[in-house]
Structure 1
Amino acid sequence: MKKYAVIYRSVLMENLQYAVNIAFGFISYFIFIFVFICLWNYMYASPGELIAGYTKEQMIWYVMITEGMWFGTRSATVTRQAATDIRNGNIAYLMNKPYHYTLYVLTKYTAEWGIRLPMYAALSISMGLTMVGRLPGFRPISLLATVPVILLGITINAVFKLSISLISFWIEDSNPFQWLYDKMLLVIGTIFPVEIFPAALQPFFKLTPIYTVCYGPAKLVVDFSWEKFLEIVAAQMIYLAIGCGLMFFLYGKGVKKLHVNGG
């Protein structure tokens, strides 16, 4: 574990030098959230109205939380690094290092969002309190249970994105699959909560990683319940196990393929 701690610290210190550059991304986030605040203010015609079981404040806070996670954890590390290393042959050098390549990529990614996410969280809270107001029924104590769920959701997303990158061992370009995954995640569960979609589709969405990556953590913030908490954590444990199993399987098969072909 010490070698991964060293990797984490070195990447963290490196990214601290670019905190100002990260802050420039606030402009895109502000515009995006401002547009959605205007949209939901228009959609909620009367005070106290519910849409899909959400009040206006809950809906806007939900979008700010999920978009804060989206902007705060975006990185080419889990999306492109593995695919690039495989295509240019650098993987043959990296896989002989005294660490597991996939864990190295995940550690590096964690250090990157360890800088970005707190910055976007602070921005989200500031915008929410200024432009929307306090979240009705929110209990700060519930954050003790919600923060681990958020971290698990980010990890699950990273594992699946890295798994998609690893298919570059067999295909030329994995970017189209990354694009499809990102757009599903963005539309279902990030911009809109699962409840906004037809009831016939909701059980299907709850069987996908979308339920555990963005919807679950944001749902617990805006409408916390211990029943929902246990349901989401159980689903996260299952998907984390599936994602890690898939990631290690693809990497192992890919490395074996390189050895067979003399890579």
Structure 2
Amino acid sequence: MRKYVVIYRSVLMENLQYIGNIALGFVSYFIFIFVFINLWDYLYAEPGMRIAGYTKEQMIWYVMITEMIWFGSRSEAVVGQVTADIRGGNIAYLMNKPYHYTLYILARHTGEWCIRIPMYALFAAAIGLTMVGEIEGFGLLALLPSAISIVLGITINGIFKLCISLVSFWIEDVHPFQWMYDKLILIVGTVFPIEIFPAAMRPFMKLTPIYTVCYGPAKLVVDFHMEQYPEILSAQLLYLGVGTSLMFFLYGKGVKKLYVNGG
């Protein structure tokens, strides 16, 4: 475990040198949020109006939280590095290192978002409190469960993106699959909460990563209910276990393929 902590700390310190580059992403984030603030201002024509059970403030904060996760957790490690290592043959060297390659990548991924997420969280809070107002009913009781759920959501997302990258052992270009996964998460779970969609679709959506990556964490922030927390946490732990098992399975099969083909 110590070797992964060392990897995490080295990436963390490396990213601290590029705070300015991370802050440049605030421009895109602000533009996106500004557009949605005006969109929901238009849709919520009447004061006190609710759409799918959400007030205007809750709906805007929902988008702000999910976009914070989206912008803050983007990582080159689980996408670009894995694909480049496999396609370039560097994986043959790295898989013989005294650590598990996939855990090495996840440690790097964690070191990257541990800088980005707090920065985006502070920026989102500043925008929200200035342009939207406080979240009704949100208190210190909701802070820790929400933070835990956000961390789990980011980790699950990283694991599934890593799984897609590991398909590079068999398919030369996995970018179309990454694109489809990203757009599914972005359009279905990030921009709109599950309650917006038809009732027939909601049970199915709760069985997808959408529920655990973005909807669950954001729902706890904008409309926290302690009785809902075990349901979201259980789903996240289940997906964490399934995703991790799939990750090890794909990596094991890929490494075996390399050995069979002579590296």
| Counterpart in the other structure of 1:123 | 123
Alignment map for 1:1-263 (pairs within 5 Å): 1-263=1-263
What's the secondary structure of 1:102's corresponding residue? helix
State the alpha-carbon separation in 2 of the partners of residues 245 and 6 from structure 1: 24
State the alpha-carbon separation in 1 of the partners of residues 176 and 235 from structure 2: 27
Structure 2: state its 5+ residue gaps: none
State the alpha-carbon separation in 1 of the partners of residues 82 and 24 from structure 2: 27
**Runs of 4+ more than 2 Å apart:** none
Identity %: 70
Structure 1 position 79, deviation (Å): 1.5
- Structural RMSD (CA): 0.6
Structure 1 position 140, deviation (Å): 2.2
Structure 1: state its 5+ residue gaps: none
State the alpha-carbon separation in 2 of the partners of residues 21 and 94 from structure 1: 29
1:9-57 per-residue CA deviation (whole Å, 9 max, x = no partner) reads: 1111110000011101100000000000000000000111000110000
State the alpha-carbon separation in 2 of the partners of residues 146 and 138 from structure 1: 10
What's the secondary structure of 1:137's corresponding residue? coil
**One-letter code of the match for 2:245?**
G
State the alpha-carbon separation in 1 of the partners of residues 140 and 38 from structure 2: 27
What's the secondary structure of 2:189's corresponding residue? coil
What's the secondary structure of 1:227's corresponding residue? coil
1:226-252 per-residue CA deviation (whole Å, 9 max, x = no partner) reads: 221010011111111110000000000
TM-score by length of 1: 0.99
State the alpha-carbon separation in 1 of the partners of residues 139 and 48 from structure 2: 20
**One-letter code of the match for 1:160?**
F
What's the secondary structure of 2:228's corresponding residue? helix
What's the secondary structure of 1:160's corresponding residue? helix
Deviates more, 1:69-78 or 1:87-96: 69-78
What's the secondary structure of 2:183's corresponding residue? helix
State the alpha-carbon separation in 2 of the partners of residues 146 and 75 from structure 1: 22
What's the secondary structure of 1:189's corresponding residue? helix
Q: Paired residues, what number?
A: 263
Structure 1 position 66, deviation (Å): 0.4
State the alpha-carbon separation in 2 of the partners of residues 69 and 209 from structure 1: 14
**One-letter code of the match for 2:38?**
C
